[in-house]
Amino acid sequence: MPSSAEQAVGGPVPVTVISIGGTIAMTPVEDGAGVAPSLGAAELLKEVQGLDRIARLNAVGFRRLPGAHLGLADVIELAARIEREVEDGSGVVVTQGTDTLEEVAYALDLMLGPPRLPVVVTGAMRNPSALGADGSANLAAAVRVAASPEAAAAGVLVVMDDEIHSARLVQKSHSSGLGAFRSFPGPIGWLSEERVRIVLRPVTGERIVVPPDRVPPPVALVTASLGDDGRLLDHLADAGHAGVVIEALGGGHLPAAMAHRAATLAERIPVVFSTRVGCGEVLRRTYDFPGSEVDLIRRGLIPSGALDGPKARVLLTLALLAGLDREEIGRRFDAGG
């Protein structure tokens, strides 16, 4: 459960820093071989000198988990906490692990809509004990963006490596490099000499209103590959999955046997197809052979548009949780989220 605020210092613009954990908050494990989350929100703020000159800071410890341990229920609770902070007149920075940063940021974007004050997600690729640790710089940049009126109503933002990304576009493209986060067609802004520059504003979709106290339904993410017959798909509905996202080949294609199984599954639960390529929009009307995008749409599958597999899974899960029917789900994907 979220704790109450741990610290409030500085001025004049209020910014709340909500810590979930992740590499930015990790230190070496005693008698261990690696690092684990250990720093609280107030401790993170103390690591970065000069933050109190940027904003009046409020530190909130929300979770102390690696990114891989987060679930959508955590993010739903986080969205509610962020809403309260924004209603109280505070910009928000969320620090978390980068493993799931793109999915958390996108889920927040869907649930919050364009918040009237900036909401920024950041993290680190190197923990505080490593040479060249980037957490302090990323946190300072994120606070600066969250304190900037220029970042208001731009949707949820991701700030890493002095670049400002839209949560709808950003992807983690490298497992460990400092420049791991990229967007297509590119970042919507950047920081230069401590100045926030936002040169593009993404089109934001309709907010998804999630009913309180409902458990997110299980939605599977399956990746197609050479010669895949799709036999795994036969068992997903009976295993309790409420929906499926398939990362298809190329522009949205499946092997013929897998396409047949996917179509059979789509008669029971919503099945969305994206592309495993990771960048670019799935096609809708270019190829027409068994397993092509035209064939899959004809047989009831829903194209994901420009959303990759992980983001498509987030949207489908929240849409099902909000009670949207298949037609409405298709409309959300067609509109880009």
Catalytic residue list: 23
In order, the DSSP letters of 162-176 are TEEEETTTEEE--SS
Q: Which tokens hold the place of 128?
A: 């505080």
> In this structure, what is the dihedral angle of CA atoms 112, 116, 118, 119, given to the nearest 10 degrees?
-10
Q: Please compute, for residue 40, the number of CA atoms within 13 A of its CA located in the half-sphere on the CB side.
A: 11
One-letter identity of residue 212:
P
For residue 322, give every residue at least 6 positions away whose Cβ sits within 8 Å of its Cβ, in sequence order, or none.
208, 209, 210, 211
Cβ(284)–Cβ(297) under 8 Å? yes
Secondary structure element (H or E) that encloses residue 191, with its range: strand 189-192
For residue 258, give every residue at least 6 positions away whose Cβ sits within 8 Å of its Cβ, in sequence order, or none.
224, 228, 229, 230, 233, 291
List of E strands, 22-95? 26-28, 35-37, 56-65, 91-95
Q: Which tokens hold the place of 163?
A: 């670049």
Measured distance CA(28)–CA(322) in Å, rounded: 41
In order, the DSSP letters of 239-304 are TT-SEEEEEEBTTTB--HHHHHHHHHHHTTS-EEEEETTSSSPPPSSS--STTSHHHHHHTT-EE-
